[in-house]
């Protein structure tokens, strides 16, 4: 039970250290209906649509996000990937290791959806969509989360939005860092996908 409490604290509190300032133009919204949280986020990046897709499907690169110890991806079919992630976090006086297993379904260069197969929540699922724009692309996330905890939901409500802002800011800042590494690799990736 202590692990479940700490997972929620990690989700809403530890992310505050992920980004010093919010990513410019990041939009985040959190709504709760009963015990179910719905959240959306979007931000613009200089990554092209193809490079943004490659960034989002580089599941092992999540190791570059603060708190992530391991992110292993296992391709199950052409467009399905199982991802196992382990996060090592320090919350107040507690050190916690968290593990989750997710299944990702890819629609090349358009979207990526996922669903939790096992983990510390009752349910967690969502999707990323990629839309081109004049500067590069807009990445949009929509997800639902059903926590497995007895922490009062009003406490989660209080911190959820700020935690998500920091989490998505870290993802957006990492995308900008990676844009240089990904330039030039999209032409080959697009041709390979069209041939398949």
- CATH number, position 75: 3.30.530.20
Domain range enclosing 107: 2-19+26-195
Instruction: Give the pLDDT confidence score for residue 29 in this predicted structure.
Output: 94
Instruction: Give the pLDDT confidence score for residue 88 in this predicted structure.
Output: 74
Q: HEC states along the chain?
A: CHHHHHHHHHHHCHHHHCCCCCCCCCEEEEEEECCEEEEEEEEEECCCHHHHHHHHCCHHHHHHCCCEEEEEEEEEECCEEEEEEEEEEEECCEEEEEEEEEEEEEECCCEEEEEEEECCEEEEEEEEEEEECCCCEEEEEEEEEEECCCCCHHHHHHHHHHHHHHHHHHHHHHHHHHHHHHCCCHHHHHHHHHHC
Instruction: Give the pLDDT confidence score for residue 190 in this predicted structure.
Output: 45
pLDDT value at 84 more than 60: yes
Calpha distance 141→174 (Å, rounded): 16
pLDDT value at 18 more than 80: no
Give how many domains the chain has, as a whole number.
1
Q: How confident is the model at residue 165 (pLDDT cuts 50, 70, 90)?
A: confident
- Mean pLDDT over residues 87-116, rounded? 81
List, for residues 22-47, the tens digit of each pLDDT value.
899 999 999 999 989 999 999 999 99
Angle (CA) 7 139 57, round 5°: 70
Angle (CA) 28 33 39, round 5°: 20
Calpha distance 164→160 (Å, rounded): 6
Which of 50, 29, 46, 49 shows the shortest CA–CA distance to 38? 29
Of the candidate ranges 4-13, 95-104, 111-120, 139-148, the one whose mean pLDDT is the lowest: 4-13
């Amino acid at each position: 039970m202590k692990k479940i409490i700490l997972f929620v604290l990690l989700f809403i509190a530890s992310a505050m250290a992920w980004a010093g300032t919010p990513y410019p133009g990041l939009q985040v919204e959190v709504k709760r209906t009963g015990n179910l949280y719905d959240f959306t986020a979007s931000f613009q990046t200089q990554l092209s649509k193809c490079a943004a897709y490659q960034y989002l499907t580089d599941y092992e690169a999540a190791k570059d996000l603060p708190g992530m110890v391991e992110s292993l991806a296992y391709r199950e079919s052409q467009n399905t990937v199982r991802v196992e992630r382990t996060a090592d976090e320090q919350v107040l006086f507690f050190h916690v290791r968290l593990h989750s297993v997710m299944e990702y379904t890819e629609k090349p260069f358009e979207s990526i959806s996922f669903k939790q197969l096992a983990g510390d929540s009752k349910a967690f699922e969502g999707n990323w969509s990629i839309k081109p724009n004049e500067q590069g692309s807009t990445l949009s996330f929509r997800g639902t989360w059903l926590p497995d905890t007895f922490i009062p939901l009003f406490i989660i409500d209080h911190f959820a939005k700020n935690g998500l802002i920091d989490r998505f800011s870290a993802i957006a800042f990492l995308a900008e860092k990676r844009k240089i590494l990904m330039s030039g690799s999209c032409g080959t990736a697009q041709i390979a996908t069209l041939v398949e």
